[in-house]
Structure formats: structure tokens, C-alpha cells
Chain A
């Protein structure tokens, strides 16, 4: 037995290695005259390259009556631009061996494609064309079609799935009317139906500007090559002055009052979601919440699993856990969820969840529990950055949200520096029942009954 070994659960095991940096690859950056920030991280291991763009616009920017617009707009970005015909974008990426996608969340919209590296220039050309030349190609027909696609996405992901609308229901309980996180990114059917072409043209002109974007390229290329290509393809796109910020997301934490909603719906078993507003992603407070969520509800060794699925056996083992949602512009939510086992009263599980959360304060976690959580977070971190796509998105995030791609290297060491006291303090200050959002799903007694949301406190 050598150094780096410790006792875990009564048996001797080696501990996972501790990292001093979470980003052991080179990072080069530049900024074009039009404000476009360019980040490059060279890695010659495989003949692939990822191009990733973070636009600093998400559903938090949407005014009332335009919910879902940032995400619907993301769809329109795949439907052709000034020199790229409709359907050609997908054909050119896939037809040259690439994988691509885009996502929208409350904070931002990202677009990315991983390509065999000889097609790097093609990817940059496609991205520049839709940054600088989308509006001339945007038609009513395209908007109408993609509106239907998005409505189908809403049906498929949120409406036709048991518990599928939990996130849509939690947000308004966590964030007050008018807060940028109050409404869900998918938006309402009513707003989507009302979406007018001019709104989207204006949306693009306002937010899809080089000075509102970070271009990150990771993989089989060099900084010099990417900087030259970025200038060639993006350099002519004009900056947009005075881009309006999203509404201020500042909110007190913890929330001042508890709230509760009970939904009767076509679900197979009663389920509980508990949630709290915590700190914004990127703060030391949220690092403690990330470790806390892992101690509490990630894996079979977590407190929730050990005490409620394995110990008391009142929760279904496949459907219990806790996690933070990594939002950066306002207090981010921690979500705890569990589904009752057959024959167990809902109240018993709710009490059990409440007790386990409380236990983080009353029975401070052991060093074994803390080390287990850090080891799992370490593996998760390395898994995220094991692909050029994961690395590019990480660098884009840290550049957009914290102004510095190199800050990505700090997250893992910061998780590893979280102490037992930090977790206890986070539980004590953030997770009290007085600030808790509770969302309960109950199965319908008979199938004819409709969804009946109860009024929240």
C-alpha cells in the first residue's frame, strides 16, 4: 500500500487522482476588429475538429408574448442563408462526414459541428454565412414550417411524456413573474402561433452579431490557421452597437417563501420534485452546491439512494436523485426528485426526502462521502472534455460567461477544494423547507380526468 490510498467503507481502496488543472491543453485567443472573440485549442490526436459558436442570447432575453422565440430562431438558422440554399447546411455538414447540432437554454444559444479536419474551412464559411447573411434567406414559408416542427418538439418532449412538463412547472414556482428565468425555453403554443417574420428578422439583427458571439475551434488545427480563417470569413460582418442586455436576474437567495403545486395527470406513479434557488453557476457557492448535489443524489452511494431506495425502500431506485441546473445569470436551481414505490404513501416519501436533505446539516457528511462525490465529479469532468466537441463547448461557455476560456481549468480544482463545512453551510443556508418549491404528480383516479394544477402558495 502506497500513498494516495485511504479507507473507504471499511475496505481499502486507492483514491482517484487529484487534478491541479481541468484543462491540460493549450488555449490561444484573439479578438477581431468587429468584436468576435476567437478561441483555439489545438489537439492533433485525431483528424477531427469542432467548430462551436456561443451566442449570448437565450430565452432570458425574450419579452412577454415572445416566449420560445430564441429556440424557434435556432431552428431557422439551419434553413439556409445568403449563399447557402435551404437544406444545404445539413447536407454539407453530414455530406462531409460531420455531426452537428444546436441548443438553446435560458442563458444562451450554441451551434456546433464536429468535422473531419480537412473541412474546417467549410464549417467556418457556413457559420459566417448564417451569422452575416441569414435575414435575406428568411421566408414566411420557412418560419411556418419550423414553427410546426417546434410545436411537434413540444408535444414529443413535454406533452406526450409522463412528468414531461415538470421543468415547465418548476420554473414559474422558482422565479417570479417578469424574471428572465420565469418562462421555459420551449415557450408557449400561443406565443409560437403568434410569431411574425419581422420579429425574427429583428431578432437576428439585434443579437446575431460578431460582438455577441464566441467562436471556439478545438482539434486538429492551429491557432494561426483559425485566426486567419476567422478574419477571412467573419471579418467583414459588422458589429452591432448597444446590444440590449437581458432583464436583470438578481434575486434574493434563498427564496422568501415556500410554494407548492400538485398535478393530477396520466402518470404511472406519484412523484415528488423539490427545488431551491441557489447561487449562480460559476460562483464558489454553486461549486459547493454541485458537490452537495452529488453527495445527496448521484449514484448508489449517495445519501438519497442509501437511505430511501436501499435503506427505507420507499423510493424507486431508478428514479431518485438530485442535480443542479448550471445557469449563470441568476440563482441556479437545485432539483431533488423521487418516485414512490408501490404501496408507499406519498407523504412518507416527502418526509423522507425532507429528512435526508435536513441530514446534510444535522449529520455532516463524512470524508468518504465527500471523496466519493469528488471522484464522480472528476470522472464526469474528464468525460465531458474527452471529445473535441465537449472541450469546445466548455471553452465557449467560460469565454462567454466569465470572459476567459482559461477559467475552464479552475472548475475541477474548485470542486476538489470544497470542504465538508462548505457542504454543510450550503445545506443550512439554501435548502431550508421555508424556501422550498414542491411539485407533486399524482396519477389520475380515472382516465377521463384532466390535468388540474392546484394553486401554489
Chain B
């Protein structure tokens, strides 16, 4: 006997289905729920139109300070009592901010989900926001940001964002602000942000066993005491491309790696090219066998990992390659990376590569969407981007049917080597000379 030499083919495929989605309008708001029979945990999130994009100039980070202040006590109970009440259910609050929404999430065993949502809503709608607490949370957030910014990455991210979105108001600054802007946030800013954006009903997402959950009770818990109509949505920001490539150095003396962030602008999430662009980026830098990971990690051994992807929000998008490479090979790694981006843009993808990308992206829809939390995240995308309830079945089909021509055309249209901004965070004394081959090097102002 010996090993079986022939690779087995697939068995019969089970049809893909996204969990059944139920919508309910009640108590002034909308509930969107996905049915996960038998799941012991349930996940829920209140989605509010109170994103970082609504912050005022120079006070970037206001929404994040608010998010971190929600658990500092409510009008009903102090922070210690709140923590014990919520954690006594086995639940933890996650309040987060992105470019499109403010999200207050909570996961708990099914029998106590309504109680957990009621506590989450209590924090979101009626936080105490005592001045001394907000100031302390803000100061702690400044310290936490300094800690975070001491790691490689955040300064490079900020430099790239500033270069790509320099003319786009709020979008040119980091999502959570920077240590300076957060330090400038006042108690009044936080109170005003809460008053202006957090009191409309919003949307409640629920993922769990709906046979054991009362959606009307959940709606009542989430929307009690709220009022107001949904806000008007602003349009996309467009895709300006700079006239020439730029290189920005973020100095990190003594760094044993250089952190690369190479990027340019891209369309927003609603673009009809979404599927083709995603597949092109998967071939270039998404899968483990992608062109970039194969060459830079597997062949050259320059890095532990390199990724290229599009990130797309409601109003804007960007393409980015991210990696940490050994200091000594910084310039060769960038040269090879540009080569692969260029090759993908000019020559497109092959059927063999696309087959991997198609199957991977389609398969990931079932493989990566098993938990209530992941399903709640998928529901959030439906809400934010106005997608239909059967969207994920459609998306899967579009992935599987995409052709080499469509994907290559998207690569040609949505990749540009000449319009890239190259941000390199590393030991300037060692690497700046080598970076000259990519054009003039500018020092970052971060």
C-alpha cells in the first residue's frame, strides 16, 4: 500500500444560501434579522448614522472618545454597576466608529439578548457623559493613541491617507484622529456629537435563533425614546489620480523592518466594478498564492506577508499594498511590488489565477460567515450600501461567473503604478538613499 497519487475531485455541491432575512418596522425604527436556528449565542448591533465623517475639522476622534465614554455610566447607573450588569449577562459592549456608521454591538446567549440590547441602548442613548469622565477618557485615548502610534504602521497609514485624501476634508485625517486632534476634543464636542447624531432610531441588526428571539421586544429595547428621520446621504468623492508618483518617508530610527503602504484612490463600494476589482486584487495580492505573496515572500523571502486590496466605503475607496519587509531589501521589495502591480494592470489576469480567486471568494461566503457576529457584519453591509436581502446569493454567482476579460479590464482601469503614493516607514538613515530610484523622497509630516 502507498499514498493515493490522484487528487480527488469534488463531491456534489450543497447549494449556498444566506440565512433567511426578516425585516420589521416597529417602535420607530427598523430591525433586520437573520435566522440562525440552533445557535446558542446571538449577536446584535445598533447601526447609527454617526460616523467619523461627521466630526468637525481639528477635532477628529470625537466619535471615538464618545464611543469609549458610553460605558462610563448612564443616567440610570454608574460605570461599575453598568459593567457588572452587562458582564453579568456574559455580554460585552463593542462601540466602534468607521467612515459610514457608529456601531454599538453586543453578543450574548439567546435567552438574555434582549436584556443585553436594552443595556446597549441605554449606553448609546442615555450615557451620563459627566465632564470629568469625558476628559479622563479623552486623555486616556490620547495616551492609547500614542502607544498605538509607537508601533510600526499607524504613522505610515496616516501619511498615506493624508497624501490620498488631502483635499477631502475629514477623510484626510485618520479614522480615529491622531494624538493632537484627540487632545483638542472638548466635552462640548462630545455632548454635541451625541445630541446631533445618536438619538435617531437607526437600524438594529440581529443574528441568531429567531424562533427564540422576540424581534418586537428587541425593537422596543433599541428604539425607546428616539425620534427623527434618516439623514440625507452625501455623494461619492470621485477618483482623482496625482500627475506623478510620490514617495513619502516616515522615519523610524533603528527599525529592523520597513513598513510599506503603497496606494492610490479607487471608486466607492457601490461601483459596478466591485466584483471584478475584488477578483483582480485577489490575484494580485489577496490569496496566499497571489502574485505579490508568491514573489515577495515565497520566492524572495523578503517578508512574512504582503497583501494588496481595495478598501471601499460608501463615499470613497482606495487601493493599497501593505507589508513589512527587511530593512536591507526595502528598495528591491518595492521594485518587485511595482513590477507586479504594473504587470497586472497591463497584462491582466490568467484563467488559472482567476479560477483560484473566483472559487476562493465564493467559498469564503460560506466558510467565513458561520458565526452570529459574522452574519451581523454581513447585514450591516446590506444596510450601509443599500443592498437587497438576497445580495449574498447574487454576489456568489457574480464571483463564479466573472470572466478573464472583465477582471483584466477592471485591473487596467483601477490600478495605476504611475499614480501610486509610496509610503515607507523605516530607518531613514539606512533606506533613504535606496528610495531615490523611485523619485524624490518627501519626509512625512506625522
Contact = CB atoms under 8 A, between A and B. Distances in A.
Interface in A301-319: 301, 305-306, 310, 313, 316-319
A133 B257 CA distance: 36
A132 interface: yes
A42 interface: no
Interface in B351-367: 355-356, 359-360, 362-364, 366-367
Q: Nearest 6 CB-CB pairs, A to B? A: A97-B363, A148-B301, A375-B90, A236-B1, A47-B14, A9-B84
Interface stretch (B21-29, B141-149, B219-227, B412-420): B141-149
B146 A268 contact: yes
Contact of A14 (B5, B89, B287): B89
Contacts of A383: 41, 107, 371, 373
Contacts of B315: none
B87 A375 contact: yes
A152 B143 CA distance: 29
Contacts of B13: 47, 116, 118
B128 to A, nearest CB: 14
A246 B334 CA distance: 44
Interface stretch (A66-74, A119-127, A254-262): A119-127
A392 to B, nearest CB: 12
A299 B80 contact: no
Contacts of A305: 83
Interface string A141-158: 000110111001101110
Contacts of B112: 14-17
B108 A145 contact: no
A114 interface: yes
Interface stretch (B97-105, B234-242, B248-256, B265-273): B248-256
Interface of A: 8-11, 13-17, 45-48, 82-83, 87, 90-92, 94-99, 114-122, 125, 128-129, 132-133, 144-145, 147-149, 152-153, 155-157, 159-162, 220, 232-233, 235-237, 266-269, 299-301, 305-306, 310, 313, 316-319, 339, 341-342, 368, 371-372, 375-379, 382-383, 386-388, 447
B8 A122 contact: yes
Contacts, number: 263
B80 A156 contact: no
Contacts of B85: 8-9, 11, 13
B14 A90 contact: no
28 contacts: A9-B85, A13-B88, A17-B111, A82-B3, A87-B294, A90-B287, A95-B359, A98-B367, A116-B14, A116-B366, A148-B301, A153-B304, A156-B257, A160-B256, A220-B14, A233-B4, A237-B3, A266-B254, A300-B79, A301-B84, A310-B79, A316-B143, A318-B147, A342-B143, A368-B84, A378-B90, A379-B108, A386-B41
A160 B255 contact: yes
B2 interface: yes
Contacts of B12: 118
Contacts of A9: 77, 80-85, 88
A379 B43 CA distance: 11
Interface in B64-89: 71, 76-77, 79-89
B438 to A, nearest CB: 22
